[in-house]
């Protein structure tokens, strides 16, 4: 398996622009997570999907952030409008809740977002 | 909510042993995980303890004491490639909450 695939790897945009981050989880994994990592706040959970349904979005910072999972193999995280304080590395991660090894979270390579 | 504490930095020489402690406060505790992250890379899973005791995986071992809300990661026979950040994380139902991370620097 190719692992969790995220795109783009790097994104540089100007304040006020819309940003869309993409994620393809590992095939067969039914849980998907979006995390944000910054020096100040570390790894923060933004949103959690189970079987394509958003279960917990309490970590989404504000209404400018939205996430979707239209099917089991694709998820997006959108920021509109983007602000400089959104600059961070955004990780997508997936896990299977159906196996005994369901404690293991697999992370994608991340998207380094810079908002100027 | 959850809170985790771990040292911010540890420096050691090649071949040495390093222990990274983690104390946590959480409700509905399922288990304690450890992840490794190299600079510019993604966190990768190292170990998981749901029950008290020591789990050994090669040069790395992880320990958990549920009654003390405490765990540690033991890195043995340190190698240069072990220079990375190490995160403890508590699982509470579906949610995995991470500590701030410990930067391990291995010197020749």
Sheet containing B18-25: order of strands: B3-5, B18-25, B70-75, B60-65, B53-57
Per-residue pLDDT tens over the stretch B26-61: 888 889 999 999 999 999 999 999 999 999 989 999
- Tell me, yes or no, if A48 comes closer than 8 A to chain B by beta carbon: yes
Per-residue pLDDT tens over the stretch A35-80: 999 999 999 999 999 999 999 999 998 899 999 999 999 999 999 9
- Tell me, yes or no, if A7 comes closer than 8 A to chain B by beta carbon: no
Instruction: Please give the pLDDT value at position B95.
Output: 86
Instruction: Please give the pLDDT value at position B27.
Output: 85
Those residues whose C-beta lies under 8 Å from the C-beta of residue A57, and which sit 6 or more positions away, are: A46, A47, A48, A67
Those residues whose C-beta lies under 8 Å from the C-beta of residue A97, and which sit 6 or more positions away, are: A30, A31, A50, B94
Instruction: Please give the pLDDT value at position A67.
Output: 98
Confidence of residue A16 (pLDDT cuts 50, 70, 90): very high
Residue A64 or residue B91, greater confidence: A64
Of the listed ranges A4-13, A102-111, B34-43, the least confidently predicted one is A102-111
Mutate to test the interface with B, among A45, A49, A93, A103 (most CBs of B within 10 A): A103
Confidence of residue A102 (pLDDT cuts 50, 70, 90): low
**pLDDT above 80: residue A116:** yes
| Residue of chain B whose Cα is closest to the Cα of A50 | B94
CB A29 within 8 A of CB A92: no
Strands A65-71 vs A5-7: parallel, antiparallel or unpaired:
unpaired
Per-residue pLDDT tens over the stretch B71-86: 999 999 999 999 999 9
Instruction: Please give the pLDDT value at position A103.
Output: 81
Nearest to A45 among B35, B43, B97 (CB): B97
């Amino acid at each position: 398996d190719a692992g969790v695939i995220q795109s783009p790897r790097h994104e540089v945009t100007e304040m006020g622009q819309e940003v869309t981050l993409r994620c393809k989880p590992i095939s067969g994994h039914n849980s998907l997570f979006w995390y944000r990592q910054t020096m100040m706040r570390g790894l923060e959970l933004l949103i959690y999907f189970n079987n394509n349904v958003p279960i917990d979005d309490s970590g989404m910072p504000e209404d400018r952030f939205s996430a979707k999972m239209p099917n089991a193999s694709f998820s997006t995280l959108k920021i509109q409008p983007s602000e400089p304080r959104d600059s961070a590395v955004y990780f997508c991660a997936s896990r299977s809740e159906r196996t005994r090894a369901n404690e293991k979270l697999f992370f994608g390579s991340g998207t380094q977002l810079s908002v100027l | 909510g959850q809170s985790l504490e771990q040292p911010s930095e540890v420096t050691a020489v090649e071949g040495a042993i390093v222990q990274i402690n983690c104390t946590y406060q959480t409700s509905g505790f399922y288990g304690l995980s450890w992840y490794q992250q190299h600079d510019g890379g993604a966190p990768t899973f190292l170990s998981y303890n749901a029950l008290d005791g020591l789990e050994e995986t090669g040069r790395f071992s992880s320990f958990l004491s549920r009654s003390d809300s405490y765990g540690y990661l033991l890195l043995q026979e340190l190698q240069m490639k072990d220079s990375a950040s190490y995160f403890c994380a508590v699982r509470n139902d579906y949610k995995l909450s991470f500590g701030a991370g410990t930067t391990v620097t291995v010197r020749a």
